[in-house]
Amino acid sequence: MFNDTLASAASSASSASSAASGSGDPAARRKDSLGCLSSQLQHDVELDTGEFRFYRKCTRDSDTNPVVMDGSDRGVLIGVSLKAGHRRRIYSQHRWATHEFDRDSVYVRNFADDYRAELLGGFDFVLIELSRAFVSDTCHERGGSGLAHIATVAGRKDPVLGHLAQVLALTLGAQNSAQTSASPLFIEQLGVTIGTHLFDRYGAPARGPEHGSRRLSALQEARAKDMLLARSQGNVSLEDIASACNLSRSYFIRAFRETTQRTPHQWLLERRVEEARELLKRSDRSLSEIAIACGFSDQSHFTRTFSQLVGTPPGHWRRQAKR
């Protein structure tokens, strides 16, 4: 699903580029799902995971691009600028206001509101769309009765989102160029992390019952770990694990972290490295064979992860262990 979506988005961008050569062609005026002219986009990548949609949008020139979108039930959009020099005029509260975007500047808008803007100059953005279901579930989990308000933001510097956007840009680039793909587990957790930061910084909590410690029960913890390990060779779905624990995906990730002091992805990597150490110590299998047997995408990924967690490359560790 991930790669198919990206391939489709890349194909759309290529078609839009061809259409732009004929100024009278209606296809040259086609808008994408965020209201931008597709023909003006140099990079147009989309990754849909269900509760989240991730985008990379980069213009090929500095033409003014008007955006007009009616309100909808799509949720919340966060845009993070990857470079300086972009400006946009946004119509709000019966007046126009111009906002400057430096690197790591963000905008946040609710799809429920009508949106009217003029995009001035070139831009390079990573965007994260949080579905209405994710927003609703997270609001109720945090405040009992939801969030009273998520601030509308334009041009505000946010180094945390800036850092996460850089990671996301690399992830989208790797997926789109058929390099080693990031795991769906990692991508889902990235979406939850961004959503959590959104609510922490820009959400005003409604009054509601206080929540105490959010930990998995012993049964939920065992079930989650069993599912992670059982499917460690393939793409594991957080949605499936959370559903088996009768929790939403975002609540499950927070509860798993509070219970184990690790995210599901971190916990799984540590278990894979533990298994690899046993194989390194007790067998003569090659590093590439051990990498695949323990669920790593390739030997390079195995060596990098092992070195980060253990402090030494697996080949060196094996020689030391067998002395």
State whether 302 and 276 are in the same domain.
Answer: yes
Q: Is residue 161 part of a domain?
A: yes
- 159 with 286, same domain? no
What DSSP assignment string belongs to 43-107? EEEEEE-SSEEEEEEEESS---EEEEE---SS-EEEEEESSS-EEEEEEETTEEEEEEE-TTEEE
- What's the pLDDT score for residue 187? 86
Domain interval for residue 222: 218-261
Would you give the DSSP letter of residue 39? Answer: G
Same domain, 249 and 270: no
The 10 Å CB-count burial string (b at 16+, else e) for 175-204 is bbeeeebbbbbbbbbbbbbbbbbbbebbbe
Question: 72-106 pLDDT, tens per residue?
Answer: 888 899 999 999 999 999 998 788 999 999 999 99
Position 211 in a domain: no
Q: Tens of pLDDT along 236-273?
A: 678 888 888 888 887 888 889 889 988 888 899 999 99
CA distance 245 to 219: 8
Instruction: Let me know whether 121 and 15 are in one domain.
Output: yes
Q: Are residues 12 and 119 in the same domain?
A: yes
Q: Is residue 224 part of a domain?
A: yes
- The answer to the question of residue 271 being in a domain is yes
Q: Are residues 164 and 285 in the same domain?
A: no
Number of domains in the chain: 3
- Do 6 and 128 lie in a common domain? yes
Lowest model confidence (mean pLDDT) among 125-129, 136-140, 187-191, 200-204: 136-140
Q: Are residues 196 and 271 in the same domain?
A: no
For residue 56, pLDDT over 90 is answered with yes
